[in-house]
Amino acid sequence: MKTLILFLWPMLLMAQTQFQKGTTAFDNQNYKQAIIYFLDRLVEEPSDKMARDHLGHSYAKLGNWEKSAEVYKTLVDDYPKDAEYNFRYGGALGLVSKKANPFKAMSLLGDVKFHLKKAILLDPKHIESRWVLLQIYLEIPGILGGSQDTSREYASQLKSISLVDGALAYGYIERDQENFDKAESFYKEAVELGQSETTYKELVELYKRSKQTTKRFEALEKGATKLNSLPLASDYAELAITLNKNKRKALVILEALNLDESNSKDKKT
């Protein structure tokens, strides 16, 4: 028995090392390298659940939705009652269908809906699946089953789970329908409730689409300063330069946040 353990130990160590290298590469956003490590791990152990999960996620990060769907299908087949795997498979298929020709898209749509709805059945509070379904029913033509009423139903469900997501969802629908005043009301509500980069970005996107440049500028300034958000500050500085307005203030905010992030990284290392 001792001899067997000694024989297997290098193989176990190598497998563990490949997976660890993959997760490190993934955490560093080096997704192409992560894929190589996870594939190496799966050569040794094709059924490795976590390696497959990370592999599918790595493909998704690179926008390779077909490969991501292939990987997550194996996980759904092996773990049919896992809500997250059903969501990731359905979501990946949905993005494959968006780039496919109309005939292939139609053939995939049933599986997309099935797995997203199954994720909700398995996890009644699954927010992401409801978001994807809301977008699908809003985007596809009525002849293929699209329905604004169904999208609103998912928005209502999101609101019952999370007030912020509910406000964002209703804002998303109204923005899509170009009901910009209604959308603004919902997005402002989301900002007040959430005070997050996401809520400010959605409000800013509304102002961009509705060509309300002054409000867009003010929302970026408020979000950048209130949240100390580098992404919002970067957009604020870019717009300030374009408009030739408050350039000095915008660049001061951006420089301060860049310095804070640099110091934070130095502390971690």
Encode the chain (269 residues) as per-residue pLDDT tens digits: 444 444 444 544 454 588 999 999 999 999 999 999 999 999 989 999 999 999 999 999 999 999 999 999 999 999 999 999 999 999 999 999 888 888 888 889 999 999 999 999 999 999 999 999 999 999 988 877 889 999 999 999 999 999 999 999 999 999 999 999 999 999 999 999 999 999 999 999 999 999 999 999 999 999 998 998 889 988 888 888 888 886 677 676 667 666 455 444 444 44
Domain membership flag for residue 248: yes
Distances (CA, A) of 177 to 132, 183, 189: 17, 9, 19
49-61 per-position pLDDT tens digit: 999 999 999 999 9
Cα 248 to chain centroid, rounded: 33
Domain membership flag for residue 136: no
Residues comprising the chain, all counted: 269
Question: Domains in the chain: how many in total?
Answer: 1
76-134 per-position pLDDT tens digit: 999 999 999 999 999 999 999 888 888 888 889 999 999 999 999 999 999 999 999 99
Beta-carbon neighbour count of residue 225 at 10 Å?
15
User: 175 is written with which tokens?
Assistant: 């923005």
Report the alpha-carbon distance of residue 128 to residue 131 in Å, rounded: 5
Report the alpha-carbon distance of residue 234 to residue 232 in Å, rounded: 5
Domain membership flag for residue 234: yes
Beta-carbon neighbour count of residue 218 at 10 Å?
14
Q: Which domain holds residue 224?
A: 214-264
Domain membership flag for residue 62: no
Report the alpha-carbon distance of residue 75 to residue 140 in Å, rounded: 28
**Is-contact 144 103, C-beta < 8 A?**
no
What is this structure's pTM? 0.84
